[in-house]
Amino acid sequence: MNALELSGIVKRFGPLTALDGVSLAVAAGEVLGLVGENGAGKSTLVSVACGLYSADGGKVRADGRELPPGDPRAAIDAGLGVVYQHFMLVPPLTVWENVILGREPRRLGAIDRRRARSQVSAVARRSGLSLDVDARAGDLSVAAQQRVEIVKQLWRGARVLILDEPTALLSPQEAAALVEIVRALAAEGRAVLFVSHKLREVLGAADRIAVIRRGRLVQVSPRSQTDAQQLAEAMTGGGRAGATRPRRPSRDGAVVLQARELAGLSERGGPGLRGLSLHVRSGEILGVAGVDGNGQTELAEVLTGLRPVQGGLTLDGDPAFHGDPAAARRAGVAHLPEDPRRRALCLPLSVEENLALGRHAQAPYALVFLIDRAGRREMAHKLIEQFDVRPPEPSARTANLSGGNQQKLVAARELSGGSAPRLVVAVHPTRGLDPGATRRVHEALRDARDRGAAVLMISFDLDELRALSDRILVLFEGRSAGEAPPDASDEQLGRMMLGQVPARA
Amino acid sequence: MPELRARLFSPARDTLWGAFAALILALLISFVAIAASGRDAATGFADLLSGAFGGPGPLGETAIKSAVLVLTGLSVTVAFTVGLFNIGAEGQLIWGALAAAVIGQRALPGAMALSLLGAAVAGAGWGLLAGWLKVRRGVHEVISTILLNWIAIHLVHGWLVAGPLAAAGSGAMVSIAGTEPVSASAWLPRLFAGSRLDLGFPLALAVAAAVWFLLTRTVRGFEWRAVGAGRDAARASGIPSSRCICEGMALSGALAGMAGALLILGTEHKYPGVFRTGYGFDGIAVALVGGGTALGTTAAAVVFGALRAGATRLQLVGVHPSFAELTQGLAVLLVAAPRIFQPLLARLRGRPSAAASAPPVPTVQP
């Protein structure tokens, strides 16, 4: 009997069919990988399985019993536990308090603290999850917070665990540790659905791998009968995604960006920047790796004039370029920020207005103090076509575009909207994008490089860093933990990200 | 709060029809309410119409009231454009009115223009204060403008008009006397015989056209809209967002101040001892129904102006003139409520909360 069985699931959102007759089953003791592009229907399927959405057709069964549609409570009672990509922990509470939250064991009307605490630590120990149950959730690393979420589901009696993009925020070492945990959970008889678009990790964790594309199940195959290449083709429906074109040998360009001993606190009082030195040459992409929170955000904000900094920082020899965002822009800094919906786009405004943003006072977007509507429209059509922004409608409301198209819009504006940039600061430029949009953004970054820009790209995705960078610099606690060539292994980079390797030039 | 505000002032395409439908529905409900109270609603509505549009006299009344509402409505709309909810039009209007009364007392050459200008400057100062508090001290504009309203009311009514600026020799009657009268050379000229229609109405329309042009056609207007639509993104793209907010609040105050000047120079001809118009607060309603755009606000102001003018006639069938406020309140409720409850309704219909990607639907189904 299958621990979780989905049969013929259909889910429509208005005219859009998100899931079109998907059937999947996970047996106890098995890890099923579920892969697909963004928008293929992975998250929708998870939401149907755990009762958040009620399907328009099909059935969900747990241990052979049919679950009432759209009833999350029934799904939890039937032993389904979901660990979401974004954790839902209460930072000031301890680990064990977070685990029991909402289902507190009681004694004489009060929370039975002793019993609760010992239950939680027993569950963690039994499944081999190392956790300090008395630590405050807010003090934990991302990986440890994820273990708390897993323990929470186990403590609630989950026999089927659904992990939604579980490795998205983890370093390579942490991801490898998670894969071990997942294998161990299966070994003790639980069923695990491992949802991800990171093929390597899915291949490491899963017994069988299911691929969905545009709401349809296109293949289910045992791990031994597939590989990353074949899965990627199945996900995209042919055409190899992310085809890399041969790297041009990096020219010995002049140093464009020079940073010496940058220092500054972060808002959260965290490391911020503590003596970071780096340089980027014209015609070069410097990849910046590192675990989240080691100074990436601060570095990007400093370079784009959003955050003051101490230390020596020059762009083409000019030390004043980072005084404020307008000055940075004038000096030729293009910015693809971490959170484009907040930092780069005015969502209620139209596509063409957002394409003009930042250059809105110059030709072809403006005539003296008036908006040049014809010039702006013409330029918008050009950029929209070049970057394949959909819908190709300059007057569309930006909020109505999909996330991928919003990101393409930002890339179009920053990289091609005016004179060629001198420095491109790209932060997770393709996070959340499907392979097609990813390819387009990568091409645009390479084009900027080929036209002589210095490109600084911050990313958590080591594959992306390796594919694009001429050099990879690893940030650790606000300074450089050293540099690595683009063919460095996961392990080598991962060690540096955890500060385990002394800096080498 | 910002989300609620954005939803209330949503410049979606549905606004025009939604607002129109809301107005019709509000009038229908008012009609039923009057009929239910045992009065002759049909005659009442006929009186209402003739009181608003029946001849040069009533048309003049409509125009006078509309002109003031156009300016206070635009005041709220301009503040909203830079992302601020200006509750303080009333206070800004009071200072503008006082400035117009004080300057207008002196028979200077160009007295009318000077009075209007002075009123704009006074209102702008009071508005700028709220903007400055916002960008420098992080004081929420809703709080600061409400407080500034009371400060303006008590400073002007409780002290200046009753004390230093009170008309000479008014003695014990101080509380109702007000200031010295405005020199006739500063009065807004009447345009037609048999009507109180003065220069205020064409002036307000010209100002509305200028505001529309500024917001939609100029680089600076674009920067204001960008700041209102996404302050972080605007700042990151090099737009001086703090300066834009201060400028927007100054213009917002200037418009409310000019509204005060229209009242003084057009009808009151002095700053009266008792002067609580409510036009500043009605500006919020006008801007809401107008959907946060200059054109919509102007149209809504004219409708509400007509309602105010016509409502005085309703007294003939025994309906209290506050009837206009009932209809106005209903209209606001009917425009605003669907925008607030739309996401909730969408969720009940089983759609995901990504309502932003859904095509715009008409807000009101009469």
ipTM rounded to 2 decimals: 0.81
Helices (H), ranges, B167-240: 174-177, 200-217, 219-229, 231-236
* B359: nearest CA partner in chain A: A400
Question: How sure is the predictor about A465, in pLDDT bands with cuts at 50, 70 and 90?
Answer: very high
In this predicted structure, what is the pLDDT of residue A335?
94
User: Per residue in A341-354, is it b (16+ CB within 10 Å) or e — as a string?
Assistant: bebbbbbbbbbbbb
Instruction: Assess whether pLDDT exceeds 50 at residue B1.
Output: no
Min distance B355 CA to chain A CA atoms (Å): 9
**Can you read off the two tokens belonging to residue A307?**
């955050």
Give CA–CA dist A285/A348, Å, rounded.
Answer: 33
- Residue A117 backbone phi and psi in degrees, to 5: -60, -45
Beta carbons of B174 and B273 less than 8 angstroms apart: yes
Min distance B253 CA to chain A CA atoms (Å): 23
Q: Is B169 on the interface with A (CB under 8 A)?
A: no
- Window from A213-227, A386-400, B12-26, B289-303 with minimum mean pLDDT: B12-26
What does DSSP say about strands A284-289 and A366-367: parallel, antiparallel, or unpaired?
unpaired
Convert the pLDDT of each residue in B310-339 to its tens digit.
887 777 777 777 777 888 888 888 877 776
| A75 burial level (CB within 10 Å; 0-12, 13-18, 19+) | buried
* A322: nearest CA partner in chain B: B238
In this predicted structure, what is the pLDDT of residue B315?
75
Q: Is A56 on the interface with B (CB under 8 A)?
A: no
Q: Which of A52, A353, A357, A410 to mutate to test the interface with B (most CBs of B within 10 A)?
A: A357
Beta carbons of B259 and B68 less than 8 angstroms apart: yes
In this predicted structure, what is the pLDDT of residue B176?
59
In whole angstroms, what separates CA A275 from the centre of its chain? 27
Q: How many domains does chain B have?
A: 1
Question: How sure is the predictor about A61, in pLDDT bands with cuts at 50, 70 and 90?
Answer: very high
The DSSP string of A417-454 is SSSPPSEEEEESTTTT--HHHHHHHHHHHHHHHHTT-E
Instruction: Assess whether pLDDT exceeds 50 at residue A293.
Output: yes
Cβ-proximal residues to B88 (8 Å cutoff; 6+ apart), any chain: B126, B127, B130, B141, B144, B145, B146, B148, B149, B253, B256, B280
Give CA–CA dist A110/A95, Å, rounded.
Answer: 19
Give the residues across from A471 on adjacent strands. Answer: A286
Average pLDDT over residues A14-36: 88
Helix, strand or coil, per DSSP, at residue B355: helix
The residue assigned the tokens 């992306």 is A464
Which of A37-41, A201-205, A241-245: highest mean pLDDT?
Answer: A201-205
Question: How sure is the predictor about B353, in pLDDT bands with cuts at 50, 70 and 90?
Answer: very low
The DSSP string of A93-122 is SBHHHHHHTTS--EETTEE-HHHHHHHHHH
| Host H or E run for residue A255 | strand A255-264
Give CA–CA dist A207/A221, Å, rounded.
Answer: 9
Beta carbons of B99 and B122 less than 8 angstroms apart: yes
In this predicted structure, what is the pLDDT of residue A241?
42
The CATH classification of domain A254-332+422-429+453-505, taken from the options 1.10.10.10, 3.20.20.140, 3.30.56.10, 3.40.50.300: 3.40.50.300
Q: Residue B177: which domain range? A: 58-343
Helix, strand or coil, per DSSP, at residue A191: strand
Q: Is B352 a member of any domain? A: no
Instruction: Assess whether pLDDT exceeds 90 at residue B347.
Output: no
| B229 burial level (CB within 10 Å; 0-12, 13-18, 19+) | buried
Separation in Å, CA A43 to CA A2, A53, A241, A461, B260 = 21, 11, 21, 21, 57
Give CA–CA dist A71/A50, Å, rounded.
Answer: 8
Instruction: Assess whether pLDDT exceeds 60 at residue A92.
Output: yes
Cβ-proximal residues to A493 (8 Å cutoff; 6+ apart), any chain: A172, A289, A462, A465, A472, A474, A484
In this predicted structure, what is the pLDDT of residue A248?
55
Angle of helix B219-229 relative to helix B56-81, nearest 10 degrees? Answer: 70
Neighbours of B347 (CB within 10 A): 12
Q: Is the dihedral of CA A219, A223, A228, A229 positive or negative?
A: negative
Helix, strand or coil, per DSSP, at residue A162: strand
Question: How sure is the predictor about A503, in pLDDT bands with cuts at 50, 70 and 90?
Answer: very low
* B7: nearest CA partner in chain A: A348
In whole angstroms, what separates CA B148 from the centre of its chain? 17
A105/A422: higher pLDDT: A422
Question: How many Å from the N-terminal Cα to the C-terminal Cα in chain A?
Answer: 57
Residue B205 is part of a domain; what is its CATH number? 1.10.3470
Separation in Å, CA A368 to CA A379, A443, B207, B234 = 17, 34, 22, 20
In this predicted structure, what is the pLDDT of residue B321?
73
Q: Is B234–A360 a contact, with Cβ atoms under 8 angstroms apart?
A: no
Give CA–CA dist B158/B166, Å, rounded.
Answer: 11
Q: Mark which residues 6-35 of A lie under 8 Å from B by CB.
A: 13-14
Q: Is B130 a member of any domain? A: yes
Q: Is B33 a member of any domain? A: no
Give CA–CA dist A164/A42, Å, rounded.
Answer: 9
Average pLDDT over residues B63-90: 95
In this predicted structure, what is the pLDDT of residue B340?
66
Beta carbons of B14 and B361 less than 8 angstroms apart: yes
Q: Is A345 on the interface with B (CB under 8 A)?
A: yes
Q: Is B91 a member of any domain? A: yes
- Window from A134-148, A261-275, B20-34, B278-292 with minimum mean pLDDT: A261-275
**Can you read off the two tokens belonging to residue A351?**
């596509």
Percent of chain A with pLDDT over 90: 39
The two domains A2-236 and A254-332+422-429+453-505 share their CATH topology (first three levels equal): yes
Q: Is B1 a member of any domain? A: no
Instruction: Assess whether pLDDT exceeds 70 at residue A270.
Output: no
**Can you read off the two tokens belonging to residue A30?**
């098995």
Question: How sure is the predictor about B268, in pLDDT bands with cuts at 50, 70 and 90?
Answer: confident
Q: Is the omega angle on the peptide bond into residue B359 within 30 degrees of 0, that is, cis?
A: no
Convert the pLDDT of each residue in A373-385 to its tens digit.
999 999 999 999 9
Listed in order, strand segments (DSSP E) in B222-311 are none
Beta carbons of B127 and B259 less than 8 angstroms apart: no
Convert the pLDDT of each residue in A278-292 to its tens digit.
999 999 999 999 887
Instruction: Assess whether pLDDT exceeds 90 at residue B74.
Output: yes
Whole-number mean pLDDT of chain A?
86
Please give, one letter per residue, the 3-state secondary structure of A270-338: CCCEEEEEEEEECCEEEEEECCCCCCHHHHHHHHCCCCCCEEEEEECCECCCCCCHHHHHHCCEEEECC
Angle of helix B89-105 relative to helix B111-137, nearest 10 degrees? Answer: 150
Give CA–CA dist A341/A432, Å, rounded.
Answer: 13
CATH topology of domain A2-236: Rossmann fold (3.40.50)
The residue assigned the tokens 């009447």 is B190
Beta carbons of A163 and A192 less than 8 angstroms apart: yes
- The minimal CB distance from A325 to the residues B11, B218, B238 is found for B238
Q: Is B27 a member of any domain? A: no
Q: Which of A168, A188, A62 is nearest to A127 (CA)?
A: A188
Q: Mark which residues 324-343 of A lie under 8 Å from B by CB.
A: 324-330, 335, 337, 342-343
The residue assigned the tokens 């006397």 is B177
In this predicted structure, what is the pLDDT of residue B12?
47
Q: Is A88 on the interface with B (CB under 8 A)?
A: no
Beta carbons of A188 and A14 less than 8 angstroms apart: no
Average pLDDT over residues B155-180: 74
B78/B182: higher pLDDT: B78
Cα pseudo-dihedral A90, A93, A95, A100, rounded to 10: -80
- The minimal CB distance from A13 to the residues B11, B237, B352 is found for B352
In this predicted structure, what is the pLDDT of residue B197?
86
In this predicted structure, what is the pLDDT of residue B320?
78
Question: How sure is the predictor about B356, in pLDDT bands with cuts at 50, 70 and 90?
Answer: very low
Q: Is B352 on the interface with A (CB under 8 A)?
A: yes
Give CA–CA dist B135/B313, Å, rounded.
Answer: 46
Please give, one letter per residue, the 3-state secondary structure of B32-73: HHHHHCCCCHHHHHHHHHHHHHCCHHHHHHHHHHHHHHHHHH
Give the residues across from A82 on adjacent strands. Answer: A162
In this predicted structure, what is the pLDDT of residue A246?
47
**Amino acid residing at A414:** E
- Window from A73-77, A265-269, A362-366, B52-56 with minimum mean pLDDT: A265-269
Give CA–CA dist B243/B131, Å, rounded.
Answer: 9
Q: Which of A37, A39, A34, A38 is nearest to A49 (CA)?
A: A34
Q: Which residues of B touch A357 (CB under 8 A)?
A: 226, 233-234, 237, 239
Min distance B236 CA to chain A CA atoms (Å): 6
Q: Is B11 a member of any domain? A: no
Q: Is B233–A366 a contact, with Cβ atoms under 8 angstroms apart?
A: no
Beta carbons of A65 and A4 less than 8 angstroms apart: no
Helices (H), ranges, A52-102: 72-77, 95-100
Instruction: Please work out, in degrees rounded to the nearest 5, the angle formed at the alpha carbon of residue B40 by the alpha carbons of B39 and B46.
Output: 135
Q: Is A108 on the interface with B (CB under 8 A)?
A: no
Q: Is the dihedral of CA B343, B344, B350, B353 positive or negative?
A: positive
Question: How sure is the predictor about B5, in pLDDT bands with cuts at 50, 70 and 90?
Answer: low
Cβ-proximal residues to B267 (8 Å cutoff; 6+ apart), any chain: B64, B196
Q: Is the omega angle on the peptide bond into residue B343 within 30 degrees of 0, that is, cis?
A: no
Where along chain A do its domains lie?
2-236, 254-332+422-429+453-505, 339-418
Q: Which residues of A touch B226 (CB under 8 A)?
A: 346, 349, 353, 357, 360
Whole-number mean pLDDT of chain B?
84
Helices (H), ranges, A188-259: 199-205, 228-236
